[in-house]
Amino acid sequence: MSPYDPSAFPPFAVTVDLVVLTVRRHALCALAVRRGEPPFQGRWALPGGFVRADEDLSAAAARELVEETGLCAHDPDSPVQANGAHLEQLATYGDPKRDPRMRVVSVAHLALAPDLPAPRPGGDAHSARWAPVEALLHQGGYGREGEQAAPLAFDHAQILADGVERARSKIEYSSLATAFCPPEFTVGELRRVYEAVWGVALDPRNFHRKVTGTPGFLVPTGGTTTRQGGRPAQLFRAGGATLLNPPMLRPDA
Amino acid sequence: MSPYDPSAFPPFAVTVDLVVLTVRRHALCALAVRRGEPPFQGRWALPGGFVRADEDLSAAAARELVEETGLCAHDPDSPVQANGAHLEQLATYGDPKRDPRMRVVSVAHLALAPDLPAPRPGGDAHSARWAPVEALLHQGGYGREGEQAAPLAFDHAQILADGVERARSKIEYSSLATAFCPPEFTVGELRRVYEAVWGVALDPRNFHRKVTGTPGFLVPTGGTTTRQGGRPAQLFRAGGATLLNPPMLRPDA
DNA sequence: GTGTTTATCGTCAGGCAGACGACTATGATC
DNA sequence: GATCATAGTCGTCTGCCTGACGATAAACAC
């Protein structure tokens, strides 16, 4: 067969789904939207949508991110911009039965964002919220208001689990944890990011030595914080280094 | 718009492309096929093909791998089988202009295989060969027979570069380097795999201490090799461990 | 002031990696 | 057979990094 005969290959729908992670109140949270239509009507799902005819995959992901959160994705090569989130491709899911209606291949992306005031319910989503990943992943967990959480729609639980695992491993050997922080942050805030993502407690003294001793990870801005209780902390910005060598190892793992 | 109206989303062709890597004569080599049709007729490309209507992405990749090389992919959960290769999803490439004829989204996969007798020219490919990745990646490099190597077709140079980088980093913290080796191998053979993939020289003594001291990485089979020149070496099989902790760090990097 | 909280600096022991010496066991060469 | 070249294996030493943890500093609450 000619591989270029338009009738010789099956047509697919291609979507992007987003795993948008942030740290809120010491917990790793993901953005979830409630589905307004069948299948899985009323169930929580990851935000996403169809890739347009003349749109790159990363552009589609960035567009969905803006629609859902108002966040601008910045690519790693450009300088950090305000309100920017890290965005990268995660994996592609194409089980023939993952969508009961038709053949859909979804290119999942992972976004890491600082804590946002509130999920913006604009765009397609009828309602959106931040939910702790544990509650979303473990069927039978309870949401914030106490309602029983049903499993995520489609294969989104698997996608979310893969995204969380990617984030957990990637902050080990890269400076990506700063993507969870505002433009200026303290060592303690960065440590609480690691603790929330990994779900462990870290020694503040060893953590401080490690991150301040890694060249290019943090650059002091000169300012300090006045915060409730405790000695004021030095403020830092993310440095130019993207890879941590040696890595920040999580306990046990 | 309704996201489920079949006319509401653009149709895509979905393919899988394969980065098949092996180590031959101390060099990291990739499988390349020569294109028999335009566009890029006569140029080298990565093997690949369309995903079938009712076929999972990984199944399509495994099918293409068999067609091109005769290798059976084994998923990481099942026990290692003879003539098996490691296969994993790499990334998805969907630039609207990556194929001049139509909109094609390609889900690239990475395969790692032991050195094979010869590329099997069966299947669609008119001709196939193993080529050092350096020759394939650097435009203007020269092939084995001295002919000038043209750049790979489509965005396959980028895909190959991403696959090579994935392999280079993954053998750091996993036992995947054994996928380049036959079922039984010596520490020296494994070291030469690392040296070929990374393009560096490693200290044989420190390497031996590291790999034999990592629990679950290697299990001795009891046998030894009779090889030309040098003291016979102990034979090993790949152990059950998949993650190396602490990792095998490549020099500098 | 006293207590609490958080940030930051220091110290010490253990583990691991790089550099490298030494010994072993084979084939090749004279 | 002696010697050499080659490759594998075992040890030693040193420096760096990390985990455990003591001590000090600077804010707030009472």
Region of residue A85 (phi > 0: left; psi between -120 and 50: alpha; otherwise: beta): beta
| pTM greater than 0.85 (yes/no) | yes
- Residue A138 has what pLDDT? 85
By mean pLDDT, which of A163-177, B44-58, B131-145, B197-211 is the weakest? B131-145
- Determine contact: A253 vs chain B, CB below 8 A: yes
Question: Which of A3, A92, A253 has the CB atom closest to B92's CB atom?
Answer: A92
- Determine contact: B201 vs chain A, CB below 8 A: no
Whose C1' is closest to the CA of B229: which nucleotide?
C27
Report d(CA B45, CA A70) in Å as an integer. Answer: 40
Residue B5 has pLDDT above 70, yes or no: no
Report d(CA B208, CA A179) in Å as an integer. Answer: 39
Report d(CA B197, CA B208) in Å as an integer. Answer: 17
CA dihedral B36, B39, B41, B43 (to 10 degrees): -110
Whose C1' is closest to the CA of A224: which nucleotide?
C7
In the beta sheet, which residues pair with residue B29? Answer: B22, B132
CA distances from A79 to A74, A86, A212, B15 (A): 8, 12, 21, 34
Residue B108 has pLDDT above 50, yes or no: yes
CA distances from A207 to A244, A250, B133, B144, B184 (A): 14, 11, 40, 51, 43
- Chain B contacts in chain A segment 155-174 (CB below 8 A): none
| Residue A209 Cβ under 7 A from any strand D atom | yes
Residue B11 has pLDDT above 70, yes or no: yes
- Residue B147 has what pLDDT? 60
Residue (of A103, A94, A89, A90) closest to A59 by Cα position:
A89
Report d(CA A121, CA B190) in Å as an integer. Answer: 54
The arithmetic mean of pLDDT across residues B46-74, rounded, is 91
Alpha helix (H) residue ranges in chain A: 57-69, 133-137, 156-173, 187-198, 204-213
Report pLDDT digits (tens) over B183-227: 999 999 999 999 999 999 999 999 999 999 999 999 999 988 877
Residue (of B48, B123, B38, B125) closest to A9 by Cα position:
B48
The arithmetic mean of pLDDT across residues B41-48, rounded, is 94
- Determine contact: B57 vs chain A, CB below 8 A: yes
Q: Which residue shows structure tokens 């979507």?
A: A15
Question: Which of B56, B246, B253 has the CB atom closest to A245's CB atom?
Answer: B253
Q: Is residue A163 within 8 Å of residue A169, measured between CB atoms?
A: no
Cβ <8 Å between A105 and B105: yes
The arithmetic mean of pLDDT across residues B102-119, rounded, is 90
- Residue A237 has what pLDDT? 96
Chain B residue with Cα closest to A38: B4
- Residue A205 has what pLDDT? 98
- Residue A126 has what pLDDT? 60
Distance in Å, residue A208 CA to nucleotide D19 C1': 13
Distance in Å, residue B112 CA to nucleotide C24 C1': 34
Distance in Å, residue A227 CA to nucleotide D3 C1': 78
Distance in Å, residue A209 CA to nucleotide C4 C1': 24
**Of A79 and B122, which is predicted with more confidence?**
B122
Report d(CA B98, CA B105) in Å as an integer. Answer: 9
Report pLDDT digits (tens) over A3-62: 455 566 899 999 999 999 999 999 999 999 999 888 999 999 999 999 999 999 999 999
B160 φ, ψ to 5°?
Answer: -60, -45
Cβ <8 Å between A4 and B245: no
The arithmetic mean of pLDDT across residues B60-78, rounded, is 78
Residue B84 binned pLDDT confidence (cut-offs 50, 70, 90): confident
pLDDT < 70 positions in chain A: 1-8, 74-83, 117-126, 139-149, 253
